[in-house]
Amino acid sequence: MTDWLFLAEVCLAGIGAGALYALTGVAFVLIYKATRVVNLAIGEILMLGGYAFLGFAAGWGLPAWAALPLAVLCGGLFGAVVERTLIRPMLGESPISVFMVTVGLGSMLVGAVELGWGADPLRLPEFVPNRPVFIGEAYLAPKVAYGFVAASLVIAAFVLAFRFSRSGVALRATAGDQGAAYSVGIDVPRVFSLAWTAACATAAGAGVLVGSIGGISPTMGVFGLSVLVVVIVGGLDSIMGALVGGLLVGLIEALAGAFLGGEYKLLATFGLLILILMLRPYGLFGTHEIERL
Amino acid sequence: MRIATLKTSYAGDEALFDTKLQRSLLALFGLVLAVFPFVAGPYWLFMACLVAINVASATGLNILTGYTGLVSLGQAAFMGVGAYTVAILELRVGTPFPVNLLAAGATTALVGAVVGLPSLRVKGLYLAIATIGASVILHFVFANWSLTGEARGLSMPPARLFGNDLDQPFELYWVIVPITAAMILGAANLFRTRIGRAFIAIRDRDISAEVLGIPLLRYKLTSFAISSFYAGVAGGLWAYFFRVVTPESFPLINSIFYLAAIIVGGMGTILGGILGAAFMTMVPEVLKLVVGWFSPYFPDALAALAPIRTIVFGALIVGFLIFEPQGLAEIWARVRRFFHLWPFKT
């Protein structure tokens, strides 16, 4: 007999984790849409956000409501600096080179964090209320539940901003056709910078949420690998895809972890990745680019 | 100043080493390699073997990424396949080690061709990510299959040749370095054949290559197979060198290391693979030396060694891509040009 309550709890936890994947996936897609850069350092920027929060909350003794925005701000600033110093000079280079630049950036971040805080995993100070949450009868860890709510709010804000704000429209125009965007007076370099800033700020925020659930360590960047699967499954340039992919990957990881064992988690996600790449190489919702000579 | 290189025959034009100076320098380098083990200490021999193994693997990746334009982040996992093949054959079957090395290459070539299958549908970064997926799956197999010793891994006896145990770097040097040299020569010659030229055509524009009559699937899979063969043999040598193979021996970061090596060295040149792999292998050792100088003044300098290595590793990738995208091979070519044209300037 299947234990339905257990299944429901596992699914809920999976969806909760999936929301964080979706949030990071949105950050990833934002960068890809605007600048066509596959940013493998997204997991490390997440980690940076977690450590920045730790630095503000534990190091400076700031309360969580002040440390969280500061960590997000740090992430945004970092994104702007990276875009200006590392990504801008690579404009027009092959996508692989830019991809490798982000790989190198990730390595530098890991080293810097290890130098600053040591290689051991650390716990973030508690800032989420820890009264258990029940949905129907199923128990859900409060951190996961609040993480889900926060991620949903941010994603909703992003979707609205894309649709209605001036910068959002400029970003969509740049994604559609850079040359055309230039000619109607959109400042494309500014859009690039904005996309990196917003994406890295989001990733840093997601890092605080992820860190509050599982603790932070220099190897947290592995989270970025799962995010990579999320965006490939959803389609690299689709916000909708990041949402669906995030929830799907979160669910699959939770189910594989609960019913097969922890070591099957990565195997399940990457199995899904290979499957999707074989069936729909451009992802569930991605644009199928047609190549011409 | 060199006035001109007049070629009077097709053979002269096609020659791998076209000037007398180049041939004599190469002979000199060969002589240095032969004398090296008699004058160097065990540490330098150890490093030389390690460099040679990494050069072999990086050259393989260069065939795939530098010449065929298919980015792979699975090189370390492929080396793992080779290493495990050698270890299993050595422990279960007991075949002599040249056979094991060839078998390692063949097995890995087969695995590589299977991993390369998505390369027809996806390319560029999608392919890179598919190879990450493949290496995660291979890693899972290493860690959970009873034949590969699960998480404990396998320990194996030393290689035997003519009744001698090859268990010192001095002895292994005579196996590893000649094999690597032969593999480099093979790679250099590959690009004078139809297959190699087809790889280059695919790199430059795969659709155009197909229009020219190059069957994409066959050549892309061939490239994967050849590259994986190199990785497999390098992995086999690695297994004989360290004699312990565990799932943790071939993490994803090693695949990034090989990709970084050919970027730093220069993609799409044989020299680049050699220089890059040697450089990237030696940098951590140089850092250890430098940090050692500082340790009397900063007591915890040695603890900072690992993170400093990680930072320098990333900084080298980023720095070379931004400031010297053609890599060390281009610097070398520039030096050569300077002397060729001296006293004039480019």
Domain membership flag for residue A20: yes
Task: Enumerate residue ranges in chain A where pLDDT < 50.
Answer: 1
pLDDT tens-digit series, residues A37-63: 888 899 999 999 999 998 888 888 888
Within a domain: A285: no
Q: Where are the domains of chain B?
A: 40-341
Percent of all residues in chain B with a pLDDT value above 90, rounded to a whole number: 45
Greater model confidence, B149 or A104? A104
Question: Peptide bond preceding B343: is omega within 30 degrees of 0, i.e. cis?
Answer: yes
pTM score: 0.90
Domain with A156 in it: what CATH number? 1.10.3470
In tens, the pLDDT along A166-185 reads 988 998 898 888 889 989 99
pLDDT for B3 beyond 70: no
DSSP state of B8: -
Q: How far is CA A137 from the centre of its chain?
A: 30
Q: Which residues are CB-contacts of A266 (< 8 A; sequence separation ≥ 6)?
A: A225, A226, B136, B140
pLDDT of A244-283, one tens digit each?
999 999 999 888 888 887 778 888 888 888 888 888 888 8
Q: What percent of chain B has a predicted confidence (pLDDT) above 70?
A: 98
The band of B64, judged by pLDDT with boundaries at 50, 70 and 90, is very high
In this complex, do B133 and A273 lie within 8 Å of one another by their Cβ atoms?
yes
State the smallest CA–CA distance between residue A152 and chain B in angstroms. 27
Residue A208 inside a domain? The answer is yes
Q: In A, residues 148-207, which contact B (CB 8 Å cutoff)?
A: none
The residue range of the domain holding A86 is: 4-279
Our CA angle for B65, B69, B72, nearest 5°, is: 45
Overall average pLDDT of the B61-75 stretch: 91
Residues with Cβ within 8 Å of residue A271, at least 6 apart in sequence = B133, B137
pLDDT of A2? 62
Q: Which of A42, A87, A96 should one mutate to test binding to chain B, selecting the residue with the greatest count of B CBs within 10 A?
A: A96
Strand-pairing partners, residue B184, are none
Q: What is the pLDDT of residue B302?
A: 74
Taking CB atoms and an 8 Å limit, are A104 and B311 in contact across chains? Answer: no
Residue B119 has pLDDT above 70, yes or no: yes
Chain centroid, CA B70 distance in Å: 15
pLDDT at residue B197 is higher than 90: yes
Predicted local confidence at residue B177, as pLDDT? 93
Task: Determine the 3-state secondary structure of B154 from DSSP.
Answer: strand
Note the helical H segments in chain A. Answer: 4-35, 42-54, 64-82, 95-117, 142-164, 166-176, 178-183, 188-214, 222-234, 239-259, 264-279
CA distance linking residue B305 with residue B312, whole number of Å: 10
- Asked whether the beta carbons of residue B321 and residue A267 sit closer than 8 angstroms, the reply is no
Query: Stretch B167-176: mean pLDDT, rounded?
Result: 85
Mean pLDDT, to the nearest integer, of B164-175?
A: 82
B49 vs B117: CA distance, rounded Å? 33
In a domain, A292, yes or no: no
pLDDT band at B79 (very low <50, low <70, confident <90, very high): very high
Calculate helix-pair angle for B252-265, B125-144, nearest 10 degrees: 140
Distance from A95 to chain B by nearest Cα, in Å?
A: 8
Please state at what angle helix A4-35 crosses helix A222-234, rounded to 10 degrees: 80
CB B237 within 8 A of CB B179: yes
Phi-psi region of B9 (alpha: psi -120 to 50; beta: other; left: phi over 0): beta
Smallest Cα distance from B305 to chain A, Å: 9
Read off the tokens for B191: 């690009």
Contact with chain B for residue A230, Cβ under 8 A? no
Q: B244 — phi, psi (to 5°)?
A: -135, 125
Residues of chain B whose beta carbon is less than 8 angstroms from a beta carbon of chain A are: 71, 118, 121-122, 124-126, 128-130, 132-134, 136-137, 140, 143-144, 205, 207-208, 211, 256, 259-260, 263, 304, 306-318, 321-322, 325
Residue A291: inside a domain, yes or no? no
8 Å CB contact of A96 and B71: yes
* pLDDT surpassing 70 at residue B4: no
- A95 with B311: Cβ contact below 8 A: no
Q: Give the lowest-confidence range in A126-140, A149-163, B104-118, B176-190.
A: A126-140
The angle, 0 to 180 degrees and rounded to 10, between the axes of the packed helices A239-259 and A222-234 is 120
Other beta carbons within 10 angstroms of residue B135's beta carbon come to 25
Total number of domains constituting chain A: 1
Find the residue in A nearest to B120 (Cα): A278
Fold designation for B40-341: ABC transporter involved in vitamin B12 uptake, BtuC (1.10.3470)
Contact B321 A97 (CB under 8 A): yes
Which of A48, A103, A105 to mutate to probe the B interface, most B CBs <10 Å?
A: A103
Q: What is the mean pLDDT of chain B?
A: 88
Question: pLDDT: is A220 or B233 the higher one?
Answer: B233
State the sign of the Cα–Cα–Cα–Cα dihedral A45, A116, B251, B315.
positive
CB contact under 8 A, A96 and B309: no
